[in-house]
Amino acid sequence: MLETKFIYYFIIINILAFITFGMDKQKAIKHQYRVPERNLFILAIIGGGVGAILGMYFFHHKTKKWYFRFGIPVIIIIQVAAFLRVFIK
């Protein structure tokens, strides 16, 4: 039961991260108020790392910023390690 809730959570947070990267890209194109980079990282840190990296490369957004190119994969590696530590015994 708990594993199912975690799976739903990760699906939702990754979809949200992906959509947020897309919305920020559209706002950048239209020169509108942007999503703060801190918020994009927070979405990745709270479980949306995969959605964030997919959004980065699908929308070609934030891919030139070194701290996104290296930071998001590091977040994903840490999350995978934590997942394996908790759920794989």
Which pLDDT score is estimated for 47?
95
Amino acid in the structure at residue 70: F
Output the CA–CA distances (angstroms, integers) from residue 88 to 23, 42, 58, 70, 81, in the order listed. Answer: 36, 26, 31, 26, 10
Total domain count for the chain? 1
Q: CA 77 to CA 44: how far, in whole Å?
A: 12
Query: In terms of residue numbers, what domain contains 45?
Result: 2-87
Mind listing the pLDDT tens digit for each residue in 37-89?
999 999 999 999 999 999 999 999 999 999 999 999 999 999 999 888 887 86
Contact partners, residue 1, CB within 8 Å, separation at least 6:
none
Which pLDDT score is estimated for 65?
94
pTM: 0.91
Residue the block writes with tokens 């949200």:
16
Q: CA 63 to CA 29: how far, in whole Å?
A: 15
